[in-house]
Amino acid sequence: MVRDTRINLCGVEMDNPVIPASGTFGYGREFTEWYDIRCLGSFSIKGTTAEPRFGNPTPRIAECASGMLNAVGLQNPGVDAVVAEELPNIKKIFGKPVIANIGGFSIDEYVACSEKLAACDNVGILEINISCPNVHGGGMGFGTQASSAAEVTKAVRKVTDKPIFIKLTPNVTDICEIAKAVEAEGADGISMINTLLGMRIDKRKRKPIITNTTGGYSGPAVFPVALAAVYRVYKAVNIPIMGMGGVSSAEDVIEMMLAGAAAVQVGAANLINPCACRDIISDLPGVMEKYGIEKLADITGGAHV
């Protein structure tokens, strides 16, 4: 029996639900040396801001048990360079719609970047990142209150008809309240979860390892936290979820979709094994057979009773 891995995400047809997460896949070029990235459902490009950003000072990576900390800080060449150079280059290596991840330090910046990126024909979905824990004066500041999250969503909704997914932080009291607020203002979907806030200390120097003091914790240890968040939000909203957080195998993809995800992003696993997404996609039909799944799209939310 042929196992059907196809999904439809807000009108964007994908061969499978596996999507490398923003910040872990660059613009795809480096990974073409390892495998044909056209096997991917899509991928989320590096977080884009209005102006070029070098990011935070180094060191900005720290290893942890079952994961890692990062405080890269939205390093990117700026929206104009992404539109003029990166997206046309992506067309040459990946003939499917990609997801444009957008960061910002003001509502006007989110709007301006969204408008420019939405005008690009190979951008299928806008992923509005209101949950980055590694920048000051923006990012997660918009995502920790329902009112500010709703305000960003409402403003971006006015400038594009393309699907908008709002990327939410787990570093809040009630993620469901924020999910419902962005849904009410026109979000087409939710991306979740972004990284957990964490830190490491250098015991010899007696100071934080990361110059930024704290960073975003990701990796396999985050998976149960992400799974619970997706499960709760699935019950709270009526829009699709791209689930992420510690996903590193085809088994994890199935579990995340049963919790409520319509598609699944893979982040830190790409930094450990550059072929992680390829291997997950290759393993999916066998895992589907193991659990008696004929059509992958049918299992979203299947763990809810």
Residues 74-129 have pLDDT tens digits of 999 999 999 999 999 999 999 999 999 999 999 999 999 999 999 999 999 999 99
Q: Convert the pLDDT of each residue in 35-82 to its tens digit.
A: 999 999 999 999 999 999 998 999 999 999 899 999 998 999 999 999
Mean pLDDT for 155-175 is 96
**For residue 1, what pLDDT is reported?**
81
Overall number of domains in the chain: 1
Query: Would strands 7-9 and 12-14 be described as parallel, antiparallel, or unpaired?
Result: antiparallel
Band of residue 304 on the pLDDT scale cut at 50, 70, 90: very high
Instruction: Give residues with Cβ within 8 angstroms of 121, minimum separation 6.
Output: none
Say whether the peptide bond before residue 37 is cis (omega within 30 degrees of 0).
no
- 169: pLDDT strictly greater than 90: yes
Paired strand residues for 188: none
DSSP 39: G
Q: Convert the pLDDT of each residue in 189-239 to its tens digit.
A: 999 999 999 999 999 999 999 999 999 999 999 999 999 999 999 999 999
**For residue 305, what pLDDT is reported?**
78
- pTM reported for the whole predicted model: 0.95
Band of residue 134 on the pLDDT scale cut at 50, 70, 90: low
- 138: pLDDT strictly greater than 60: no
In a domain, 269, yes or no: yes
3-state secondary structure at position 7: strand
Provide the CATH number for the domain around residue 174.
3.20.20.70
How far apart, in whole angstroms, are the C-alpha atoms of residue 268 and residue 67? 8
**For residue 133, what pLDDT is reported?**
60
In a domain, 64, yes or no: yes
Mean pLDDT for 161-190 is 97
Judging by beta carbons within 10 Å of its beta carbon (0-12, 13-18, 19+), is residue 55 exposed, middle or buried?
middle
- 300: pLDDT strictly greater than 60: yes
In a domain, 305, yes or no: no
**For residue 287, what pLDDT is reported?**
98
In a domain, 71, yes or no: yes
Q: What is the mean pLDDT of the chain?
A: 95
Please give the sequence-ordered ranges of beta strands (E in DSSP) within the chain, or none if there are none: 7-9, 12-14, 18-20, 61-64, 67-70, 98-102, 123-129, 164-167, 189-192, 196-198, 201-202, 207-208, 215-218, 241-243, 263-266
In a domain, 275, yes or no: yes
Paired strand residues for 305: none
Full residue range of the structural domain in which residue 288 is found: 7-299
**For residue 220, what pLDDT is reported?**
97
Mean pLDDT for 4-19 is 98
**AA identity, residue 64:** C
Give the chain's length: 305
**For residue 140, what pLDDT is reported?**
55
How far apart, in whole angstroms, are the C-alpha atoms of residue 71 and residue 93? 29
For the record, the structure tokens of 109 come out as 């910046």
In a domain, 304, yes or no: no
Band of residue 141 on the pLDDT scale cut at 50, 70, 90: low
**For residue 137, what pLDDT is reported?**
54
Say whether the peptide bond before residue 59 is cis (omega within 30 degrees of 0).
yes
The dihedral through the CA atoms of 204, 206, 210, 214 has a sign that is positive
Band of residue 253 on the pLDDT scale cut at 50, 70, 90: very high
In a domain, 42, yes or no: yes
- 183: pLDDT strictly greater than 90: yes
CB atoms within 10 A of CB 123: 22
In a domain, 1, yes or no: no
Could you give the C-alpha distances from 88 to 96, 196, 286, in angstroms and in order? 12, 33, 35
Active site positions, annotated: 132
> 256-291: b or e for each residue (b if 16 or more CB lie within 10 Å)?
bbbbbbbbbbbbbbbbeeeebbbbbbeebbebbeee
